[in-house]
A = this chain, B = another copy of it.
Amino acid sequence: MLRVSKLTDYATAVMTCLASAGDGVTSAQALAERARLELPTVSKLLKQLAQAGLVASTRGINGGYRLARAPERITIADIVTAMEGPIGMTECSAHAGLCDHEPHCGVRVNWQRINQAIANALANVTLADMLHVPRQRASIPVRVAVT
């Protein structure tokens, strides 16, 4: 149903917790409790987020994670990409050359444009935005133009 995976969903929740936690490091354990998720699951996705460079980790006792950048500079698109790979609605728009139909597929270029629109929509919402419950109207002006 055109959805992101649960892991990605959890990842946004955990990242939001991290953003609200401030500057110090927070352990995976503490994040799991705050997000009400299982520790192994949280560990797994934090590892992925760390590899993608969205969070920085500190090992050892009193270790934990913190955001690698300011919440204003981390977007939903970053998180989705970290968890699921490149954003592409169709196989051929994410990776060229895999589809037999490419030579006679007039639809492909248009899908790429749609992808772009969606990627822009995701890139226009930052972690900082997620911290706020939206105001009545127009608090996050997402403006996407396919050009």
In the bound complex, residues from chain B placing their C-beta under 8 Å from that of A130 are 106-107, 110
CB of A114 within 8 Å of the partner chain? yes
Interface residue? A39 (CB, 8 A) = no
Contacts A105-B13, A106-B16, A109-B134 given; does A121 touch B114 at CB 8 Å: yes
Which of B90, B118, B134 has a CB less than 8 Å from the CB of A121?
Answer: B118
Please count how many residues in chain A sit with their CB below 8 Å of the partner chain's CB atoms: 54
Interface residue ranges of A86-116 to B (CB < 8 Å): 86-91, 94, 100-101, 104-107, 109-111, 113-114
B125, A114: Cβ atoms closer than 8 Å: yes
- Which of A2-10, A23-31, A51-59 faces chain B? A2-10
**Stretch from A40-48, A61-69, A135-143 at the B interface:** A135-143
Q: Across the interface, do A90 and B142 meet the contact criterion of CB distance under 8 Å?
A: no
In the complex, what residues of B have CB within 8 A of residue A6's CB?
Answer: 91
Contact at A4–B107, with CB atoms within 8 Å? Answer: no
Choose from B13, B36, B87, B124 the contact partner of A100 (Cβ within 8 Å). Answer: B36
| Interface presence of A76 (CB below 8 A) | yes
Q: Are B85 and A110 closer than 8 Å at their CB atoms?
A: no
- A144 and B129 in contact (CB under 8 A), knowing A36-B100, A36-B101, A94-B3? no
